[in-house]
Structure 1
């Protein structure tokens, strides 16, 4: 809990400018400052929960009003420093969206969302936000603060939008005119009464590209997402069996989905990562379904050490890839010997979850037992 203190005797506007400069030195593309009043977002969030759109993500509803009231989550908070960090690897050319869309049309390729191909962003951002908080204390003395990045009941997009980092797109992700949406968000809750930044206007206009591009129609309308239909939810958050009716829509996406971002016109301006941490590891930008399906649990844990992918575990990893292998049957690879052999090699897997999805995939190839 914060101990509310008198504001430090310092030039707060000058401090805010300095904090933004320090953030850039640490690899953040931009940092802005918001107050903690999210009262206008609370009804919409509560309605989203009431509709059940959060699915099995019980943590979204587990903290009461703390998610929409930062000063209840961390008493004493009066400002939130919201920062964004670009993650599209610097090596990617201007045609990166075309390349990604091309791989989606290759049924044997395994598509891992761009954000997850490198080092776990939770670790990268948390460490650098902590460094920033330490630097602030070196300047002004002891303050009360907490650092977050996708790790607590925080309405990250709402706070980032309020601070002026961008606007909420129709796909519900944050958009920035100069950087698209290929970035992570992180926050520092603080008791420093820094001057706040102004929000920016929405620039989606009449565009519906993200809605039209969603493979599962998870975007029900502008700014309305049913997570239960979202491929990111199905391949990452969902712990059990993927609904049979959803499996064909997943295609060869084995972890996450970037389709709405690939379709968004603003991502022609997507910023490039300033850190090498987000460069693709283990060839995940060009891997095949068969290759990844062959990883043992030891391979999975060793190769993905320091990766956010490890959070789903080897069992769900195999579940997801089995779906991709099954879907390859309707994309020109029906009965492909290497795919069928790979699936048969997992038929006796100790996990009933894996076995179920393997049998479904084999049936897609007309090779069921």
Structure 2
């Protein structure tokens, strides 16, 4: 079902958690609300679910207005046909897996035969059919999270809301469950809203990402577009760009790096925004070599720290003792530099993005094609 949010505001006394937020999520689309703690992403989700009463605005799920401050409409959570999966599993340890998933259906007085059919079908969907009779206290963390997901799916929600459901799991299990969650969402054609502070989870699970800062959506786009084209330095830094430094323009395509005698060339044009301009360079776009490379943005440097990470090697290098860069190189390159070794650093001008510190207004794009795809 389509979700439409208009001019949503949520205030707690003098504190505003959500500022005039507008968001449209297509039928069958998966949208991730991404941002740091306190940015308003969970508050927005709780407003959709009916667990928070907004101060102002309007929320529509499908053709039903579930909240409208001006009209005095506020549909209770149990009438919105919304399923929620929380960060904490909230699994009843004294019940079996089957009884945990069946509990809500029993409260609704669904016939026993239908309960059994729906529960077993849902457990099969999440890969727990063989554990139906096992006590929930005997489950692993990943299995408990699947039970929590099954408990929401068995209610056949039109919208599935997930609030950082994988954050309590170890890294390898998170990777596997990301894929499984995405497969289930696509298979069922569910409209999903996923709250997370983890960019990898957002990239893996979402058709579009709404990146939030200070209660506002500052950029909304497809994961690949957002990764390659952040609208501000603060967005770039949050998305994992480690090398961000202040710059001042001197001539077209050339910038002085503040606090150093260094200059850097860039092919990007700064967008509109607030605060000073910053040059942003991803760690994997910085090249290291033993010999001086040709072209612009070549600097002699010293390796301060070298750390092998399996598929890659991470370095911290110092240029002229005034600028430190984070560098990631592929382990397959076969070249490894030691701590204290002299090297050359090179950066292609098209890998240098000059961006304002903060975006002036939300940048929303990439939504038309997504909506057409999920509607077809």
Q: Same fold (TM over 0.5)?
A: no
Larger RCO (CA within 8 A; separation ≥ 6): 1
Report the TM-score range of the alignment, normalised by the length of the smaller protein. Answer: under 0.3
Which structure has the bigger radius of gyration?
Answer: 2
Tell me which protein shows more helix as a share of its residues. Answer: 1
Tell me which protein shows more strand as a share of its residues. Answer: 2
